[in-house]
Every structure is written in structure tokens, then in C-alpha cells.
Copies of this chain bind each other. A is one copy, B any other.
Amino acid sequence: MNANPIFLNLTASVDEAAVQPFANSRKVYVPGSRPDIRVPMREISLSDTPASMGAEKNPPVYVYDTSGPYTDPDVKIDIRNGLPAIRAPWFEARGDTENLPGLSSAYGLNRLNDPSLAEMRFNLHRTPRRAKAGMNVSQMHYARKGIITPEMEFVAIRENQRRDNLSELVTRQHPGESFGAAIPKIITPEFVREEIARGRAIIPANINHPELEPVIIGRNFLVKINGNIGNSALASSIHDEVEKMVWGIRWGADTIMDLSTGKNIHETREWIIRNSPVPIGTVPIYQALEKVNGKAEDLNWEIFRDTLIEQAEQGVDYFTIHAGVRLAYVPMTAKRMTGIVSRGGSILAKWCLAHHKENFLYTHFEDICEIMKAYDVSFSLGDGLRPGSLYDANDEAQFAELITLGELTKIAWKHDVQTMIEGPGHVPMHMIKENMELQLKHCDEAPFYTLGPLTTDIAPGYDHITSGIGAAMIGWYGCAMLCYVTPKEHLGLPDKEDVRVGIITYKIAAHAADLAKGHPGAQIRDNALSKARFEFRWDDQFNLGLDPDKAKEFHDETLPKDSAKVAHFCSMCGPHFCSMKITQDVRDYAAAQGVSENEALEKGMQEKSVEFLNTGAKLYQKA
């Protein structure tokens, strides 16, 4: 617990550094078919190519922007009020929901009526929204009825990143190896609808989270990443967690999971959701366990059900539910090196053994579906038996659970409940692909959402890297969302710098995966940055990077002067040795000699390389 009373920290603002717009970037909104569909993007303007290299105009680059209103200078941020409820008109127009008179959860009501919590309570001026009796308000349900929702249109525009207007030169990229993903050149709202109806993608979007800017998760879309935050009994306050969320989305988290297990997690969650433009996920069993004072055997369906409703009415967009930890699988873990390492998995395993009964999440799975569809909460079916060490990778327990998760997927789909599946863990590189293939097979292409996987166990303090390797690979193979791992994994609670490093590492993994899959347009930013690099447009190089601040800071450690930003070298090589400068000299020299390299190249392209060897040699043998 933080030593100071938690509410003292609840000021209106968040850290200035977390909301500052990036250099040469501005927030733009691409309009949809109706005025309240405004899809945010970050436009990065670029300088012209220097005169000595052709004085070319370089078009701006649009990048996916997860940072919400925080980086929009026109929006006044006051976290005590939360973000604007942009989606409210959308579900009002659908007419299948109603505002309840008050909270439905007993626990939620208790907290609301506890005067000692008044000062830390978010001041929400509305009651929860729920599906009208007999209605199903999930995006999957609409999709299957053939309805394109504003959420679907929003994500379609968002996924395209304005690449429809770009020239072939700017978008040129290598054909990918997609392993069966089929990503169209332009994402249409109808394509989004089809993918959601098919169960191959989800838009986690609780109707009690109207502040949300919708995001789609599926193998035929950009690979997404999740950042975990949350307090523990030992550290962190509400304000810290809101700041971590804002900080995480600044660097690119597509969703945030609040994994709080400390005190006041109900109030902490409310503050996070009200201020979050990205989907929020939770693991409700953590809070349920708090309610029974940490005694797993005291858990029961009623407490858990009340927790689901409590969180659904706050606006949680997806729930991790460990319904696949079946009683019979628990003994399969006894000979493992590291037993059960999922917190949820171990809680449920303990419950199963204590009662000699089947997991109550499994037996009540259809009851859970009824709650999910009344608020459009998506399933994230937890892999409670994921391996906690390379030694335990891909073992019987893990794959037995995966088969059950596949069965549960089909039950969820029967209820039109959006569903994704969680995956490992710790897996050596050569065993990663099997995880992806079995998941696609057993879960019929429902989106896969993996933690890492870590490809070796020997680098505590660097597990963002051991896992970033595995994450890039499984993203390439078809994983839809990558759950980040920070440098503090296994060692402690991440601070803001850890969150930043974890997010950037996973943005790298996700983007490397998009490139390898051949996602249309994925290489635009790489091309623009490489061109800037080659033309010594240092500021453009920084600004196009995933972390402009860090790039500039590193460069400026040795060359802080402004003049160095147009210098044709950096401190790594110095002025004489910069190979890019020499390449330019080669081009200039060739031009001065009246030799057109392009002509030589064209000629070479038309002939076989052996022939070109001779041609080329002749071209240059005599001036």
C-alpha cells in the first residue's frame, strides 16, 4: 500500500510528459459515414529532401494512434470528469439497451454506499446500461444479423491508415508469408462485419464503456498489443494506475488490462475505464478472491457472478475467464518444473481440488455467456495451465486445456459472444508454431492472444526481449494480439519506464509480424524512415520512429547541436566514414562521368546476372 492516502493524488491532470504531442505530429480525424464517426490518426509531417539530393517533397505519414484525446491539444483533459462518451449515440440509436435505475451488483452497491470511499470515488453521473430483456447487444450478434455498426465502420477506417491515397512507390513492400491469413488491400466495413460474424475477429466494446475508440483484434488485421497495469497489495495508487494507462496508450498499447490485486480495485478500475480510450480487460477471479479474503476454496458461483456484473456495469471490455482449467487436468501439472504459473489457473486448480468438483466456471459457462451478451463483454479464455518454463512447454496439460478452450469457443459463439483465446508463456522458438497451429485448429480461428512467449528462461531483467522474439514469431504465424512483458517480469511491479520499454518492444514485435505477413501498407513507415535516414533528415528519422524522444535523446548525447540534425554523419562513424555519404558520392561521381547508373541497372535487370557482370564491367572499364 502506498503510504499516502490514495485520494490525495487524484488531481485533474496527468503527467505532462504523457500527453505532449509528438514533434511534427498532429492528431487528425478521418470522418466516417456519419458526423460522430471520427477516426483518430497521427499525421507525421516530413521535411523536403535536401536540394543536393533532389529537393523532393515527402508526403506525411499516417500512423495508428492509440493515445486517444490525450494528445489532442484541442481537448481539455480532466481525469475527474473522464473522457467524452463518443459511442453513446451509437447504442442509443440501436434501441436495444436500457439505462438501469442503478447498479445490479450487490458488491457495487456496497461500495457506492460506503461513505468512507467518497473521496476516492469517481463521480459518475449516469447509471449502467444493459441489453433489454431477451436482447443480445454483442458486435457478433449484429454482424451475424448483417448489420454494420458504427464500431465496425470505425475500425475499418482505422485499419486502413489512409493508405488508399498513397502512391505505389510509397507503399511498395515485399510479398509476405501469411500462413493462411487473408488480408485485403483495403479493409471495408463489410469485411469487418464478415470477420466478426465468422468469429475470426472481435471488437471488445462494452456498452458501458462509451469513451472507447473501437479496435479490432483478429488475424486478418494489424497485430495488436496489450499492456498490463494494476496495483498489488504492496505498491501503487489509483492515480499511478491512471497515469500508467495514459502512458501505455501514448506508446501504443491497443488494449490495457487492469490486473489489480491490491486494495480498492473497484474504485481503481472505475477511474481507469472512465479515462481510457482503449478497451480494458480484467481477470475477475482476482477480485472475487479478494472478496473471500484470498481463500480460493471459499469462492463460489454467486460471488463470481456478482463480480462479473459489477465489472460489466463499470464497462470492462473483456474478461479473462479460466474455464478451461478442468479438474482432470490439474494432476497433469504435478510433474512440471514450474507447476501452474497462471494466477487464475492456480486459484481455480486449488478450488477444484478443495471441493473435488469440476471448475465452476466450466459448469456455469453458459450462465457467463448470458452476462457477456447483455453488455457485450468479450471472452478472453484464459490459459490457466500455460507453461511457466521452457521445460513445461507444449505439454499434455497445456494442450488438454486448449482443446477445452476450443469447445468453449463454440459454446460462446452459439450465444454470439465475442471470444479470443489466451496462449503461452514460455516456449522455445521451434515449438512456437505448434501452439499457433493447434490454436487455429481447435478454436476454429478465433483470435489468439499470447503472453510472449519467452524463448529462454535465463534472462530475468530482460524478459521483454526473451519474449519479444517469441511474440514477433507468433504474430507472424497468426496471433492477433500480443500481451506485453516488461523488463520487470518475474521480479517486481513495472514502473512507467518499464511500461514504455515493454510497449515499444511489443510494438516492434507486432510490426515485424505485420511486415512478415505482408500486411498491405505495413512497410510505408519503414520506407519513409529509411528514406529519411539515407537523406540525413535526422528529425524525420526520429519522428517516424516508435519512440521519437528516445531516438533524439540518444543522438543528442554526443551531438546535441541543432546543426548536427542536418549533418551528413553521426558520432558513430564521424564525417569521413559515413557510408551513406559515400554512397551519395558514388552516385554523384557516376553522374559526373556521364554514366547513368539507372541505365546500367535497367540493362542488368533485363539480362541474366552473368551477362550483366560483363556488361557492367564494360560500362565502367573506360570513361
Question: Within the assembled complex, what's the spacing in Å between the Cα atoms of A616 and B331?
Answer: 8
Query: What 5 A-B pairs are tightest by C-beta distance, nearest first?
Result: A328-B616, A334-B597, A339-B583, A389-B530, A233-B574
B residues in contact with A418, CB < 8 Å: none
Question: Within the assembled complex, what's the spacing in Å between the Cα atoms of A554 and B490?
Answer: 10
Q: Tell me how far the C-beta of A425 lies from the nearest C-beta in chain B, rounded to whole angstroms.
A: 12
Q: Given A472-B455, A516-B429, A551–B233 Cβ distance below 8 Å?
A: no
Tell whether, in the assembled complex, residue A525 and residue B458 are in contact, meaning their CB atoms are under 8 Å apart: yes
Q: Is A29 in the interface zone, CB < 8 Å from B?
A: no
B residues in contact with A570, CB < 8 Å: 490-492
Q: Give 1 or 0 for each of A566-605: 1 = CB within 8 Å of chain B CB.
A: 0000111111111110111111011001000110110011
Q: Give 1 or 0 for each of A286-310: 1 = CB within 8 Å of chain B CB.
A: 1001000010100000000000000
Tell whether, in the assembled complex, residue B490 and residue A353 are in contact, meaning their CB atoms are under 8 Å apart: no
B residues in contact with A349, CB < 8 Å: 582-583, 586
Residues 397 to 455 of chain A near chain B (Cβ within 8 Å): 400, 403, 426, 428-431, 455
Q: Tell me how far the C-beta of A382 lies from the nearest C-beta in chain B, rounded to whole angstroms.
A: 12
Tell whether, in the assembled complex, residue A547 and residue B613 are in contact, meaning their CB atoms are under 8 Å apart: no
Question: Looking at chain A, what size class is its interface with the partner chain?
Answer: 35 or more
B residues in contact with A572, CB < 8 Å: 232, 488-493
Q: Copies of this chain, how many?
A: 2
Known A456-B511, A458-B544, A465-B468; 20 more pairs at CB < 8 Å: A174-B428, A234-B574, A333-B583, A338-B530, A338-B534, A338-B583, A342-B579, A347-B579, A350-B586, A356-B620, A390-B527, A430-B517, A456-B515, A459-B547, A460-B551, A462-B505, A462-B508, A491-B555, A492-B558, A492-B571
Main secondary structure of the interface of A (DSSP, over half): helix
Q: Tell me how far the C-beta of A357 lies from the nearest C-beta in chain B, rounded to whole angstroms.
A: 8
B residues in contact with A330, CB < 8 Å: 586, 597, 616, 620
Q: Is A315 in the interface zone, CB < 8 Å from B?
A: no
Q: Tell me how far the C-beta of A601 lies from the nearest C-beta in chain B, rounded to whole angstroms.
A: 5
Would you list 16 pairs from A and B whose C-beta atoms are within 8 A, ordered by A residue? A177-B430, A232-B574, A234-B558, A261-B577, A328-B613, A328-B617, A337-B531, A356-B621, A388-B534, A455-B512, A459-B508, A464-B465, A490-B533, A490-B570, A490-B572, A491-B572
- A235: which of B394, B558, B622 is its contact (CB, 8 Å)? B558
Closest to A514 in B: B456
Question: Within the assembled complex, what's the spacing in Å between the Cα atoms of A190 and B577?
Answer: 44
Residues 316 to 359 of chain A near chain B (Cβ within 8 Å): 326-335, 337-343, 345-347, 349-350, 352-354, 356, 358
Q: Tell me how far the C-beta of A501 lies from the nearest C-beta in chain B, rounded to whole angstroms.
A: 8
Question: Within the assembled complex, what's the spacing in Å between the Cα atoms of A607 and B362?
Answer: 24
Question: Within the assembled complex, what's the spacing in Å between the Cα atoms of A397 and B335?
Answer: 53
- A533: which of B234, B338, B342 is its contact (CB, 8 Å)? B338
Q: Tell me how far the C-beta of A594 lies from the nearest C-beta in chain B, rounded to whole angstroms.
A: 12
Tell whether, in the assembled complex, residue B527 and residue A350 are in contact, meaning their CB atoms are under 8 Å apart: no
B residues in contact with A544, CB < 8 Å: 458
Q: Is A542 in the interface zone, CB < 8 Å from B?
A: yes
Q: Tell me how far the C-beta of A264 lies from the nearest C-beta in chain B, rounded to whole angstroms.
A: 14
Question: Within the assembled complex, what's the spacing in Å between the Cα atoms of A416 and B582?
Answer: 35
Q: Give 1 or 0 for each of A476-489: 1 = CB within 8 Å of chain B CB.
A: 10000000000111
Q: Is A612 in the interface zone, CB < 8 Å from B?
A: yes
Residues 487 to 529 of chain A near chain B (Cβ within 8 Å): 487-493, 495, 504-505, 507-509, 511-513, 515-518, 523, 525-527, 529
Q: Is A262 in the interface zone, CB < 8 Å from B?
A: yes
Residues 258 to 275 of chain A near chain B (Cβ within 8 Å): 261-262
Tell whether, in the assembled complex, residue A353 and residue B460 are in contact, meaning their CB atoms are under 8 Å apart: no
Q: Is A78 in the interface zone, CB < 8 Å from B?
A: no
Q: Is A623 in the interface zone, CB < 8 Å from B?
A: yes
Q: Given A349-B586, A526-B391, A472–B551 Cβ distance below 8 Å?
A: no
